A = this chain, B = another copy of it.
Amino acid sequence: MSTAKIIEPQTGAAFKMNKGDILTVIDPMGQQVSDMVLFNSDDQREKISAGKTMDFEECILLTEGNFLWSNRSHKMMEIIEDTNGRNDILLAPCSAETFRIMYKNPEEHPSCLTNLHQNLESYGIDMDAIPTAFNIFMNVQFSALGKLKVLPPTSKAGDLVRFKAHMDLIVGLTACSAEDSNAGTFKPIHFLVTKEQATTTR
């Protein structure tokens, strides 16, 4: 059994996984968001598309049983387990400008976009190529009129989301850096990549 890898608060990670592998993303302390972006490792111009995902899944809220789709209309991942049940695919990764424009904070601030870029750079993926993420554990509420509000995550310590890869992937993953998304505190995210068989014996 492998041990979980740790993404320290307000940082990120990037890694490869093969078709069939299982990724488990764990919120070890509760109320911590993790932004995830996906690229086809054979051709990085193919990547997760929030628009195509909502199109094919016919839903804004994605959980166990839903798929994450690419801009080329291929299934990239399947959500095979979700102990919390609230994730977001509407909002883009927080960036330096998020804090400058929305938080009125002109100071240097870590962000998911920067953390994704710093980790994905070694795979030749530049900042502009980073798409809207699947925001694991993120609690974005929408009214009937479409007004959006970011609330603290409902995830508790130990909640996890498990994904099965449907193609060979490069994955970017963060422990999100935005105050409002994480109940005002910054916590780590744990993750684990295992072979398919490993999870059938749990």
Chain B's nearest CB lies how many Å from the CB of A146?
3
Q: Specify how many copies of this chain sit in the oligomer.
A: 2
Task: State whether A60 and B90 are in contact (beta carbons under 8 Å apart), knowing that A51-B50, A73-B95, A142-B142 are contacts in the complex.
Answer: yes
Q: Is B145 a contact partner of A55 (Cβ separation < 8 A)?
A: no
A144 touches B (CB below 8 Å)? yes
Q: Is B91 a contact partner of A54 (Cβ separation < 8 A)?
A: yes
Docked pose: A73 CA to B100 CA in angstroms: 10
Q: How many of A's residues come within 8 Å of B, CB to CB?
A: 39
Chain B's nearest CB lies how many Å from the CB of A171?
18
A196 touches B (CB below 8 Å)? no
Residue in chain B with minimal CB distance to A133: B51
Docked pose: A60 CA to B149 CA in angstroms: 11
Docked pose: A129 CA to B130 CA in angstroms: 12
Please report which residues of chain A, range 62-110, place their CB below 8 angstroms from some CB of chain B when the two chains form the complex: 71-73, 90-93, 95, 97-98, 101-102
A49 touches B (CB below 8 Å)? yes
Q: Is B90 a contact partner of A51 (Cβ separation < 8 A)?
A: yes
Task: State whether A49 and B132 are in contact (beta carbons under 8 Å apart), knowing that A54-B90, A73-B95, A95-B73 are contacts in the complex.
Answer: yes
Interface residues of A (CB under 8 A from B): 45-46, 49-52, 54-56, 58-61, 71-73, 90-93, 95, 97-98, 101-102, 126, 128-133, 142, 144-149
Interchain Cβ contacts under 8 Å between A and B, 25 examples:
A46-B128, A50-B132, A51-B93, A51-B132, A51-B133, A52-B92, A52-B132, A54-B91, A54-B148, A55-B102, A58-B147, A58-B148, A59-B145, A59-B146, A60-B90, A60-B148, A61-B145, A71-B128, A71-B130, A73-B95, A73-B97, A73-B98, A73-B101, A142-B142, A144-B144
